[in-house]
Amino acid sequence: MTATVTSESVEPGEAAQPATARFPDGFVWGSATASYQIEGAATEDGRGPSIWDTFSRTPGKVFAGHTGDVACDHYHRYRDDVAIMADLGLQSYRFSIAWPRIQPDGTGPVNTRGLDFYDRLTDELLGQGIQPVVTLYHWDLPQALESRGGWASRETALAFAEYAQIAYARLGDRVPTWTTLNEPWCSAFLGYASGRHAPGVQDPASAFRAVHHLLLGHGLAAEALRAAGAGTIGITLNPDAVIPVDPASPADQAAARIADGLHNRIFLDPLIKGAYPDDMRELMSRFTPLDFISDGDEKQINQPIDVLGVNYYTPSYVSAKPGQPAAPEAPGTEGISFAKPAGPVTDMNWLIEPDALRKLLERLHNDYGVPLMITENGAAYPEVPAPGSDEVHDTRRVEYLDGHLRACLDAISNGVDLRGYFVWSLMDNFEWAEGYAKRFGVIHVDYATQERRPKDSARWYADVIRRNGLE
């Protein structure tokens, strides 16, 4: 696949049209959301509680006590939201299914009213010519499963495969692309090591058990979906672009290797090469016996995947710093500093570095050789409409997206097999521990009235899609 730069043919005396940097034919343009972040309707039609319902109700865990109870009310407004997507010219939409709508207790009886919602959503999308991309797990674990050990328990992996088959049996005839997990790094390390995310556990041994059971759940589900006839199967990671602060320093390089292991290789190696890396086995065994890894598990995890989803926002800078305590979300990183250099940041205080995305894509392509899809990329900025106006001038978001799409084009020119791009997010939504305080949408949501207003970035993105490229 090659990206091309063209300019329209110029008649004598005419000004040259701006050059267009085009994406390959067939490149897929979409946007992404997740169930708990947008749906609301938290107790409707038989939905059971998830770990995020519990966590967001625990004082001090989420900004200002915000919850996903109402969120963007997408559960009731999905038709209007799909119409907005159609207006933007989106070709594809990545959404997640809330497991607690399908199996309110995590296992056992199926709640058909929950399936009915995704059935309606799927048909609405297809009716507008928008291809659905399903994520089976975007962090809203049924609370009943957490109460029995959550991802630290092997039972959850088996339950996930059962749930995946239930969802596929209902939607598989119309949904072409199935993603098992979203960012298992966050589920394991923010959920069970730092406790910044649900379920809020702070126990490194549980975090490593969670890594394994998430991967095993992926492997069991992927095999079952394949057997059931699923066309395109993938998993979405948030691989980290790890950069040694001093690339010439062996100590910084060694620190970067550990950070890369904990964030990237611990997932990618078993998924794609069929075995945990030796250094990560050694690191894990400092915290827990590895008896949770049974014979055959790594083979089970190593299912063929058709696409690897990449969520990218910001790189990590890593250096050796004797005496530095381990980062709470990175057990075993004593003596390693994750301090970032000064530079432009988004409203999340995330450093903006598009070229780190190019390097990351090239690294994934070279080391793992699987087709890639950007399943999330975007930026939080606080702009809202001025009083009395419907317009949101989110110029910095446009610049962020433009810069990262150029990085994608560069990666494609350098031979990376990148199949598509999904902007995070379609609309402002519940940003986990930040509640509604951070706005990632290209559509503005007024939470008091639930009105949606396209920001400048939405109009800009629609133009990108229309011309399949950047000016």
State the nearest-atom distance from the C-beta of 440 to ligand FCB, in Å.
5
Nearer to ligand FCB, 48 or 309 (CB): 309
Q: Please, which residue, 143 or 179, has the CB nearer to ligand FCB?
A: 179
- Range 347-376, binding ligand FCB (CB under 6 A): 376
How many residues touch ligand FCB under the rule CB under 6 A: the total is 12
| 127 class by beta-carbon count within 10 Å (0-12 exposed, 13-18 middle, 19+ buried) | exposed
SS3 219: helix
Binding of ligand FCB by 238 (CB under 6 A) = yes
- Which of 240/297 has CB closer to ligand FCB? 240
How far apart CA 352 and CA 431 sit, in angstroms, is 19
183 in catalytic set = yes
Q: How far is the CB of 17 from ligand FCB (least distance, A)?
A: 36
Q: What is the dihedral of CA 432, 436, 440, 445, to 10 degrees?
A: 140
Identify whether the C-beta of residue 31 lies closer than 8 Å to the C-beta of residue 84. no
Q: How far is the CB of 147 from ligand FCB (least distance, A)?
A: 24
Our CB check for ligand FCB shows the closer of 186 and 360 to be 186
140 binds ligand FCB (CB under 6 A): no
Residue nearer to ligand FCB on the CB measure, 95 or 440: 440
β-sheet bridge partners, residue 376: 311
Q: Min. distance of Cβ 429 from ligand FCB in angstroms?
A: 8
Of residues 79 through 138, those in contact with ligand FCB by CB under 6 A are none
Instruction: Give 311's strand partners.
Output: 376
Q: Does 303 bind ligand FCB (CB under 6 A)?
A: no
Q: Which of residues 27-56 bind ligand FCB (CB under 6 A)?
A: 34, 37
Residue 58 half-sphere exposure, CB side, CA atoms within 13 Å? 15
Phi and psi, residue 71, nearest 5°: 45, -125
**H or E, element range at 163:** helix 154-171
CB 423, min distance to ligand FCB, A: 11
Identify the residue whose tokens are 């000004």.
15
Residue 329 found at the interface with ligand FCB (CB under 6 A) = no
Q: What x-and-dash track marks residues 437-466 binding ligand FCB by CB under 6 A?
A: ---x--------------------------
Q: What is the 3-state secondary structure (H, E, C) of 167-200?
A: HHHHHCCCCCEEEEEECHHHHHHHHHCCCCCCCC
| Amino acid letter, 374 | I
Would you count residue 421 as binding ligand FCB (CB under 6 A)? no
Q: 399 catalytic, yes or no?
A: no
Half-sphere exposure of 218 (CA within 13 A, CB side): 32
Q: Which run of H or E residues covers position 233?
A: strand 232-237
Catalytic residue among 39, 124, 183, 298: 183
The phi, psi pair for 49, rounded to 5°, reads -75, 145
Nearer CB in complex with ligand FCB: 21/364:
364
Q: Tell me the C-alpha distance between 137 and 326, whole Å.
A: 29
Query: Is residue 182 near ligand FCB by the rule CB under 6 A?
Result: yes
Q: What is the DSSP letter of 351?
A: B
The catalytically annotated residue of 39, 124, 329, 376 is 376
Candidates 42-50, 123-131, 178-186, 246-254; binding stretch for ligand FCB (CB under 6 A):
178-186
Q: For residue 128, with 0-12 CB atoms within 10 Å meaning exposed, 13-18 middle and 19 or more buried, which class applies?
A: middle
- In the complex with ligand FCB, the residue whose CB is nearer, 56 or 238, is 238
Provide the binding-site residues for ligand FCB, judged by CB under 6 A.
34, 37, 182-183, 186, 238, 311, 376, 424, 431-432, 440
Indicate which residues carry an active-site annotation.
183, 376
